[in-house]
Structure 1
Amino acid sequence: MSPRHTTRRLQRLAAAAITAAALVAVAPSAEAAHPGAPCTTPQLKDGWYGDNRARLQQLIDRHARCNPYRPTRAKPVAVFDWDNTVVKNDVGDATMFWLLRNSKIRQPARGDWSTTSRFLTPAAAKALAEACAPLARPGTPLPTGTPAGAGCADEVHAVYATAATRTGAAAFTGWDHRTMEPGYAWLAQLMQGWTARDIRRFAAAARTENLAAPVGATQQVGTGRATGWVRYYDQQKDLVNSLRRAGFDVWISSASPQPVVEVWAQGVGIDAGRVIGIRNTTTRAGTYTPHLKGCGSVPDGADTMITYIDGKRCWINQEVFGVRGPAAEKVQPAARRQVFAAGDSDTDISFLRDATGLRLAVNRNKNELMCRAYDNSDGKWIVNPMFIEPKPHRSSPYPCSTTGYVDHDGTPGPVRRDDTTVIPDQTDTVF
């Protein structure tokens, strides 16, 4: 062998030795590669009622990526409502009040307020037109943040907050009470003419103000006062973070507008792709229309299916689990449902009931939610007081056996279990 060939052979052997040494240095040890290797499961912080922390920790331990069987299965899904579940107070309200104070709501087409919601009553459309029509041309912002526009701001605020005009006339009629809340939807519909980027900017400004304001603060809206502060719940931030670190696929489902919740969800580490809020249809230019995207059997623009009670089930099935068409409106097999769910209101009841592992009810004294949570017929419910300014003890039982349930047409009735038996009235015990 020539000296040149010997040199090349030695160089190749040296390079191979270096490569092998590097691989040994970076390769996981046999222990680390073994399914039973050490793995740290997140531990929840204190601040929970009773044994709720222990129950939640058991759920995390059972489904965490550290469990040897987890690598061979899909991520377990957890879904949280947002307003008054992850935060104290309502980010939709905070945004509406900011829009009114900063004159960002536009005069509707032809000054006809009935175009802003198919459920708006003639009385409400007339009251809004009388208060707002003289103030701006169609399509341009109304001066609701000025003294001249205070009456318009008051009328919009009344319809939004009380579902009635300032004179007490009903503002909405004819909606399905299990798939739609027209007041919630109306906020998104009043964002017409703006882009999602605009709304995120508005929501970010409102977020900054509401987080900076002291607890209990109010703000002037029109000639009246409205809630002026929001806070993240530390316990829920910790729970969301722990679930994510444990390998859960964590989602937010809210009946506030999509871009608004996107902005707030960043504060707990949830990106826009894991947020499901009320979604507008858009023009070719990307501006919002007063119409909404549909789900299941409901087409875009029908404006009858938002993220509300049964509508939340549909949107979760569609966006999280990929179920399309009318099937999205139905309860799915256990393997295609969330393991954990958290909510605070009757608006959350369907997606909470769908959770297969554990369901957290934040107690705001809501009838159907608390009837089902306290009945706890399958042992998967836990109840926690609100983490900031909890509701006091409700002295009278929840009317589960008579009027705790609201049907599609708004008729009250008894709350029934899956086997159709009636839940008896329940006593408030967690407060």
Structure 2
Amino acid sequence: MRNRNISALTLAAAAALAAVPAALPAAAATPTNSATAEVRCPQLSKKLSWYGDNRARLQRVIDERGRCANPHPGHGHERPVAAFDWDNTVVKNDVTDATIAWSLRHDKILRPKSWKATSKWLTDEAHRALTEACGTDVPVGKPLPTSRNTACADEIFEIREDGRTMSGAAAFAGRWDHRHTVPQYAWVPQLFAGHTVPQLESYAAKAREEALAAPVGATQTVGTHEIPGYVRYYDQQRDLIRTLKKAGFDVYIVSAGSEPVAEVWSRSVGVDRAHTIAIRSVLDREGRITTWNQGCGDVPVNKGEAIPYIDGKRCFINQEIYRVKGKAAWQKQDRARRIALGGGDADTDVTFVGDATGAHLVLNRNKSEFMCRAYDNADGRWVVNPMFIEPLPRKTGTYPCSTAAYNEHDGSKGPVLRDDGSVVPDQRDSVY
């Protein structure tokens, strides 16, 4: 298990190197012998549906960066890297929500000494709302009866989902870099403070079993919130990851969720702990999760200032995969230290997916900054696909790329700019 203890500030990193730098030329030569082709050029399944020519475009990257072009990756040659977001990218629905929902329904959240101490940005209004809803009768460190206390479950879930209390008051306030973190995401592992990593993994495993057994379209109730009750692995993404691995790629998951939760799910697509990057909680001397997490780049151990979120995903990829240290980890690297293929579904993925040198795979969930980049397709490598299960309908109107789609560091909105500084024009939804 990766050491998350505060005494070990060096984050665990996988021993993968950079993607082989190459432009995307015409289709690579394929061996004529079919048996040789199968060994050297693993193929995506033709039985699984992709939008348009997306399968062929992804296959071309696999052929040109994998074993087909280099039969011996790792033997004097650098292995190409692929990285994927998890929730709504590799699976349909959110495994963090599934874990929190299961935990609330089974009384697994421990009462903190002070709700205010769970997040450096939690407002007085949120502290009061949580204290009033959850009460003070339960001793500190003991489970809250959230399965019976609807008001307590509601406040916790509303704050996690929308960053607001049930009365509509802001749950988080203060200053943070909005491209490095979002407080309600950072708050999730902080909610599990006091538990051990194996305990949290067991909750995630039970939530996983329940979510996979529920039929597609099922819902569940948490407090008074109705949320999706099922999760499914996308067959196309399973196949893509399997094919990439057979072709000699190192494949990583990069999630803005809690790392023990992500690890429980990622192993079923053949991605191990060393290749799963998410929010890494610092443990106390007894091995219990604290409200601190390990940092990235020039941000040391912290209380949520740096997580794998928007530019933070780039930072963790640069630091964990390519061993880029300090402030430079936040910056776009040269081609030799960038992933070959990236996949995501939301604005939180836009930076690292955009860094890919071979293909930028986007599952369309109508997220403005991400879709502006995807539809502008400045380098011709953006591959847009509807969600494989319950895809969204076409977005009405246009994405406000030229005025208010970019997530600024201070939380405001601005125009999306290309690398040359030109403004991306507003885009219409065309892949749905």
Asked if TM exceeds 0.5, the reply is: yes
SS for the counterpart of 2:428 is coil
Per the alignment, residue 275 of structure 2 pairs with 274
Per the alignment, residue 117 of structure 1 pairs with 119
Q: Work out the CA distance in 2 between the residues paired with 1:356 and 1:338.
A: 6
Q: Is 1:48 aligned to 2:85, yes or no?
A: no
Q: Work out the CA distance in 2 between the residues paired with 1:329 and 1:322.
A: 12
SS for the counterpart of 1:360 is strand
Question: Greater helix percent: which structure?
Answer: 1
Q: Work out the CA distance in 2 between the residues paired with 1:68 and 1:165.
A: 54
Bigger radius of gyration among the two: 1
Q: Work out the CA distance in 1 between the residues paired with 2:92 and 2:211.
A: 11
Is contact 2:291-2:303 (8 Å) kept? no
In the superposition, the TM-score normalised over structure 2's length comes to 0.89
Q: Is 1:354 aligned to 2:355, yes or no?
A: yes
Give 1:243-392 correspondences, 5 Å limit. Answer: 243-392=244-393
For each residue in 1:194-218, what CA deviation from the matched residue of structure 2 results, as whole angstroms up to 9, or x when unmatched?
1111111110000000000011111
Equivalent position to 1:82, from 78, 81, 86: 86
Q: Is 1:137 aligned to 2:139, yes or no?
A: yes
Q: Work out the CA distance in 1 between the residues paired with 2:323 and 2:107.
A: 39
The CA deviation at 1:67 is 2.1
Amino acid at match of 1:96: I
For each residue in 1:252-289, what CA deviation from the matched residue of structure 2 results, as whole angstroms up to 9, or x when unmatched?
00011000000000111111110001111110111000
Per the alignment, residue 14 of structure 1 pairs with none
Is contact 2:361-2:382 (8 Å) kept? yes
Q: Work out the CA distance in 2 between the residues paired with 1:336 and 1:225.
A: 43
SS for the counterpart of 2:136 is helix
Is contact 2:399-2:405 (8 Å) kept? yes
Q: Work out the CA distance in 2 between the residues paired with 1:344 and 1:70.
A: 32
Number of paired residues? 392
Q: Is 1:158 aligned to 2:158, yes or no?
A: yes
Q: Work out the CA distance in 2 between the residues paired with 1:145 and 1:183.
A: 21
The CA deviation at 1:70 is 4.8
Per the alignment, residue 64 of structure 2 pairs with 62
Q: Work out the CA distance in 2 between the residues paired with 1:187 and 1:261.
A: 13
For each residue in 1:329-357, what CA deviation from the matched residue of structure 2 results, as whole angstroms up to 9, or x when unmatched?
11111101101000000000110111111
Q: Work out the CA distance in 2 between the residues paired with 1:376 and 1:69.
A: 31
Q: Work out the CA distance in 1 between the residues paired with 2:404 and 2:266.
A: 34
For each residue in 1:18-43, what CA deviation from the matched residue of structure 2 results, as whole angstroms up to 9, or x when unmatched?
xxxxxxxxxxxxxxxxxxx7644211
Q: Work out the CA distance in 1 between the residues paired with 2:343 and 2:227.
A: 27
**91-100 or 168-177, which deviates more:** 168-177
For each residue in 1:84-143, what CA deviation from the matched residue of structure 2 results, as whole angstroms up to 9, or x when unmatched?
00000000110110111111111112xx11101111111111110111132411111111
For each residue in 1:169-223, what CA deviation from the matched residue of structure 2 results, as whole angstroms up to 9, or x when unmatched?
0111222210111111111110100111111111000000000001111122124
Is contact 1:313-1:351 (8 Å) kept? yes
Amino acid at match of 1:269: G
The CA deviation at 1:290 is 1.1
Is contact 1:243-1:250 (8 Å) kept? yes
Is contact 2:89-2:343 (8 Å) kept? yes
Is contact 1:396-1:427 (8 Å) kept? yes
The CA deviation at 1:69 is 6.3
Amino acid at match of 1:276: I
Is contact 1:64-1:70 (8 Å) kept? no
Is contact 1:63-1:70 (8 Å) kept? no
Q: Work out the CA distance in 1 between the residues paired with 2:358 and 2:138.
A: 53
Q: 1:254 to 1:76 in 2, by over 3 A?
A: same
Q: Work out the CA distance in 1 between the residues paired with 2:222 and 2:232.
A: 20
**375-384 or 129-138, which deviates more:** 129-138
SS for the counterpart of 1:322 is coil
Give 1:218-257 correspondences, 5 Å limit. Answer: 218-257=219-258
Is contact 1:281-1:301 (8 Å) kept? no
Q: Is 1:205 aligned to 2:211, yes or no?
A: no
Q: Is 1:395 aligned to 2:396, yes or no?
A: yes
Q: Work out the CA distance in 1 between the residues paired with 2:226 and 2:70.
A: 55
Q: Work out the CA distance in 1 between the residues paired with 2:68 and 2:430.
A: 35
Per the alignment, residue 18 of structure 1 pairs with none
Amino acid at match of 1:98: W
SS for the counterpart of 1:276 is strand
Is contact 2:40-2:67 (8 Å) kept? no
Runs of 4+ in 1 over 4 A off after TM superposition: none
Give the percent of matched residue pairs that are identical in Structure 1 and Structure 2. 54
Give 1:163-182 correspondences, 5 Å limit. Answer: 163-174=163-174, 175-182=176-183
Is contact 1:107-1:133 (8 Å) kept? no
C-alpha RMSD of the superposition: 1.4
Q: 1:68 to 1:128 in 2, by over 3 A?
A: closer
In the superposition, the TM-score normalised over structure 1's length comes to 0.89
Per the alignment, residue 93 of structure 1 pairs with 97
Is contact 1:294-1:302 (8 Å) kept? no
SS for the counterpart of 1:134 is coil
Amino acid at match of 1:101: R
Is contact 2:335-2:357 (8 Å) kept? yes
Amino acid at match of 1:401: S
For each residue in 1:220-244, what CA deviation from the matched residue of structure 2 results, as whole angstroms up to 9, or x when unmatched?
2124422211000000000000000
Q: Work out the CA distance in 2 between the residues paired with 1:224 and 1:393.
A: 26
